[in-house]
Amino acid sequence: MPRPFLPTPPTPSASRRSEAKAATREKILAAARDLFLKEGFEAISMRRIAHAIRYTPAAIYGHFKDKTELLITLGDQDFEFFRSKFHAIQAITDPVDRLRAAGHAYIDFALEHPRHYQLMFMTKWPIIDPAQSSLEHGNADEDSYAFLDSVVIDCIKAGRFSAKYRDHRMVTQACWGVVHGVVALYITHGDDPWCEFTRPRDTALLLLDASIDGMLPPPLAPRPAPTRRRKAARKP
């Protein structure tokens, strides 16, 4: 018997379908991140990722044409998220203050998202041509490395670093190294009883300060007292 008052089931709207599709992509990417982290890029196939989330391999291929496309999407997503952490500090006028703030933001990202961090910065990636990324290589608004480089260039142009620290490529890589060091060691050795790692954020910030201060010219020192001419040592 027909039940005239039963509402007809809603047909999924286009927006609902696209939401569901996005949710599936996220699920695939999250599973891929976990597996890549655990076993490395090489060891993990599309089939393994599908299996982890109980999908058929065909269902995954509907979202990513191959493992490389999946990997590029994962990288772009994570690096875009990472780049967004620096939006708030772009307005800082003093370039050295901006550099310090960028260091803070980097350290916080690493400690708040250690799994993302590990895959992004502590794992050897297959070589990917930057042209394949959806982020524009070299554009400081999208490319975090270019952003850091631009802050370093601003410090150098403003004459804020001593003479030794004026090769922006080297200084940019040094600045990256300084924020990477402590957090990376903490991620791998944080629970190693051999070296009781404590307060990684404080330690990383302390080191950031030391390194930036060490690149600034020393405050004007008093003129050294005139030295007396030393007598030539007499030969015995």
Q: Where are the alpha helices (DSSP H) in 40-167?
A: 46-52, 57-61, 67-84, 95-112, 114-121, 144-157
CA–CA gap between residue 28 and residue 53 (Å, rounded): 7
Q: How far is CA 218 from CA 74, 93, 155, in A?
A: 44, 22, 16
In whole angstroms, the minimum distance from the beta carbon of 121 to its own copies comes to: 7
- In the region spanning residues 2 to 41, those forming contacts with its own copies, defined by CB under 8 A, are 38-40
Kindly tell me which residue out of 192, 225, 226, 230 binds its own copies, with binding defined by CB under 8 A: 192
Q: Could you tell me if residue 231 is left (phi over 0), alpha (psi between -120 and 50 degrees) or otherwise beta?
A: beta
Kindly tell me which residue out of 71, 115, 170, 229 binds its own copies, with binding defined by CB under 8 A: 170
> Which distant-in-sequence residues (6+ apart) come within 8 Å of 196 by Cβ?
none
Asked if residue 52 binds its own copies (CB under 8 A), the reply is no
- Which residue's CB is nearer to its own copies, number 86 or number 176? 176
Kindly tell me which residue out of 220, 225, 232, 233 binds its own copies, with binding defined by CB under 8 A: 220
Asked if residue 203 binds its own copies (CB under 8 A), the reply is yes
Interface residue list for its own copies (CB under 8 A): 38-40, 43, 121-125, 127-130, 137, 143, 145, 164-165, 169-171, 173-174, 176-185, 187-189, 191-200, 202-204, 206-207, 209-215, 218-222
